[in-house]
Structure 1
Amino acid sequence: MNDLPLCRPGDTLPLARYRFTLQAEAPLHLPAYPGSMLRGSLGHGLRSVSCITRQNTCEGCPLLEACQYPALFQPRPSTELAARFPEVPAPYVIEVPLGTPTTLAPGERFHFEMVLFGPAQAQLGTLILAWQRAAWHGLGKGRARATLTAVEWERTPDDWLTVFTPDTGSVTPHRARLALPEIPAETSTVTLQLDTPTRLQYHGKLCNSWQLTASIVLRTLERKVALYAHCYLGALPAAPKDASLESIRLDASTRLYQWQRYSSRQQQRMAMDGLVGTLTLHGQLAHWLPWLWLGQYTHLGKNTSFGLGRYRLHQS
């Protein structure tokens, strides 16, 4: 799977996480999990700031190849990638913590995060303008107006630098690349804290916790990380060794989180149930550790673009 250059500890990747803070200007009512709503709002905002022709659809648009809307929101595989990846992910992942308040009074704030991959990093200014437009157009039930008050860049875990406020009006220059850390190879136990519903499938069907195995979790992770690497990162850690899977054991302590999203494209509500809780892996993990670390940014499983499958990695 890995025909890309190898990345090693200390090497940097075109990958960064940003935190966006919004302030409600009117009573704001959000869904229980607002990731899908935010992704839809971003799409409208991007189209507002990017589309020149104002066609109803992108099909047949003479400016399609130069437009940032499809490049950021509905990317198409290059000729080189098309045979291997018929569909490519958007170059971002929206992250919204479970427990985000569903009702905000005017003046109250909430935040969400975005992981930007490769070319999306150069379009941070476009994304900021799109979020400003989306928030002012209205969010949530009733389309309540909101204001983008700050954008912060995660320099290192839990160390945030403000790179944009409405007062500055422009993005502060910063070198947003992420260094692959040195991970102790002797680590034999890691825990994945599933922070948002995680949809893992096997043979096309959603897995319950008692159906999960280490192989299902790690192979799903491998495919997800490799997909983003080939599309946007340009490098990968050394391929994990198949033999190591035989020695790895999985302990799952999860519950099913049930929620639905409304698809405007399909004009219907869709079940997006997923697992939350912990997945603990024991065994020969040395070859998998860099992949597990990168998976904190790509997320794990299905429907990750609007935040599903986010986990935090804890080493023992």
Structure 2
Amino acid sequence: MYTSLSSLRIARFQFTIEPTELVQLPDYKGSALRGGFGHAFKRATCLSRDRRCEQCILKSACAYYTVFETKVSQETADRLRIGADAPHPFLIEPPMTGLHTFRPGDSIRYGLTLFGTAIDKLPFFIYAFMILGENLGLGKGRGRFRLMSVEDDAGRNIYDNGNLVGPATVTQSKDILEAAGTCDRDLSLEFLTPLRIRTAWRRQEQELLTSIASDSEFRLLLKSLYHRAFVLTQLYGDGIEAQAFESRNMPLFDGDVRLVESKTRWLDWTRYSQRQQQSMQLGGIMGRVIFTGKTGQYIPLFRLGEYLHIGKGTGFGLGKYRILETVKTTC
């Protein structure tokens, strides 16, 4: 059922940093981490900083261009139903804390997930966070920090005093899908960071879902999640295969899932884009929902989504959710 999603390699990491001076972060900390990280990654990898990426002779071998600036052909963009810019092969999960001020001696933990070919560039990601902490700083006042540890998904520290030690644990999307099980059960989802999903997929329509209040929203969640999983797999999995595009539409949904509980709210937050030189409103849905019915066939996709996130702004850590364990109903 999900064969076209089975070839994506995924690696998750937990970073621990310690401020060396006062660090002040906003309510949504993913914006501060992601914004500063892009500049640090370019400083860590770019050999020709006075050139635009498109005109640079080194772009085909450049880690920054591959991760941040890679374009896809118009044919591929049309087939995948995306713009000319490929989605980034990584996401940053912000610290899940309500604290805003961190002092020397405190610790801050955040996550990094890499997809496909980006996993091979892990040293660049780590070095970029070192540069961010030592040179650029983070948050209001650009407080500096030092990188203390990097743990892989198995809980092993792979970073020791500036050196990588041992290979990282890598998970295959196929294994996640197969391990999920297909028993029908109440499907309880908790959205941990703002969820931003379009209600229409035509480019001229950009309205966002503002609440989850009816059965029909389940299809929107499915469609957004399947599209993200499919695009990432085709771009960063085993490559673009012509026959795979026949599977770009999600599996048939026949309305056999019902919404039984929704405790959600809209959370607004604002970030300033240095690139666009303007403030951006990036609010989204938070809270918990429960669906019931014949959910089993969709459980594997939602399990995979715990790694991928869902909706818009995933690079900032938006669309993070978890499946809350519930009693199985029918196998």
TM-score scaled by length of structure 2 = 0.85
- 1:190 correspondence with 2:190: no
Is 1:174 equivalent to 2:174 in the alignment?
no
Query: Are residues 1:286 and 2:296 paired?
Result: yes
Which residue type is aligned with residue 199 of structure 1? R
Give 1:89's aligned residue: 87
> Match of 2:226?
222
Alpha-carbon distance in 2 for matches of 1:104, 1:232 = 36
- What is the percentage of aligned positions where both structures have the same residue? 32
Partner-residue secondary structure (3-state), 2:35: helix
Map residues 78-227 of structure 1 onto 2, 5 A cutoff.
Answer: 81-84=76-79, 85-86=82-83, 87-137=85-135, 138-155=137-154, 160-166=155-161, 169-178=163-172, 179-180=175-176, 181-203=178-200, 204-210=206-212, 213-227=217-231
Show the counterpart of 1:28. Answer: 23
Q: Distance in 2 between matches of 1:279 and 1:234?
A: 34
TM-fit CA distance, 1:54: 1.5
Deviation, structure 1 residue 267: 1.2
Structure 2 counterpart of 1:192, which letter? L
Residue 312 (structure 2) pairs with residue 314 (structure 1): no
Residues 287 and 266 of structure 1, relative CA distance in 2, 3 Å threshold: same
In the alignment, is the contact (CA less than 8 A) between 1:240 and 1:288 conserved in 2?
no
Q: What is aligned with 1:53?
A: 48
- CA offsets 1:25-62 (integer angstroms, 9 cap, x no match): 00110111111221121111111111111125323111
Partner Cα separation in structure 2 for residue 222 and residue 120 of structure 1: 21
1:14 and 2:17 matched = no
CA contact (8 A) 2:8 2:236 kept: no
Please say if residues 256 and 276 of structure 1, whose CA atoms lie closer than 8 Å, have aligned partners that are also in contact.
yes
Secondary structure of 2:255's aligned partner: helix
AA in 2 matched with 1:267? Q
Distance 1:295 1:188 in 2: 17
C-alpha change, 1:231 and 1:141, in structure 2 (3 Å) is same
2:65 is aligned with 1:70? yes
Distance 2:19 2:54 in 1: 35
Indicate yes or no: 2:247 matched with 1:247: no
Supply the RMSD in Å over aligned alpha carbons: 2.4
SS, match of residue 255 in structure 1: strand
What letter is aligned with 1:230?
Answer: Q
> Which residue type is aligned with residue 39 of structure 1?
R
- When residues 79 and 209 of structure 1 are mapped into structure 2, their CA distance, relative to the original with a 3 A threshold, is closer
**Counterpart residue number, 1:305:** 315
TM-score under structure 1 length normalisation: 0.89
Distance 1:151 1:80, change over 3 A: farther
Q: Kindly state the Cα deviation for residue 100 of structure 1 after the two structures are TM-superposed.
A: 4.7
CA contact (8 A) 1:187 1:315 kept: no
Deviates more, 1:78-87 or 1:126-135: 78-87
Q: CA deviation at 1:80?
A: 6.8
1:41 to 36, 39, 42: 36
Give the Cα separation in 1 of the matches to 2:254 and 2:26.
39
One-letter code aligned to 2:303: W
Q: Which amino acid aligns with 2:324?
A: H
Where do 5+ consecutive residues of structure 2 fail to align? Answer: 201-205, 327-331
Count of residues paired in the alignment: 305
Per-residue CA deviations over 1:204-254 (Å, capped at 9, x if unaligned) read 211121555211121111112112111123499998642x44111123210
Structure 1 residue ranges without an equivalent (≥5)? none
Structure with the higher helix share, 1 or 2: 2
For residue 184 of structure 2, give the secondary structure of its aligned residue in structure 1: coil
Shift of 1:184: 3.2
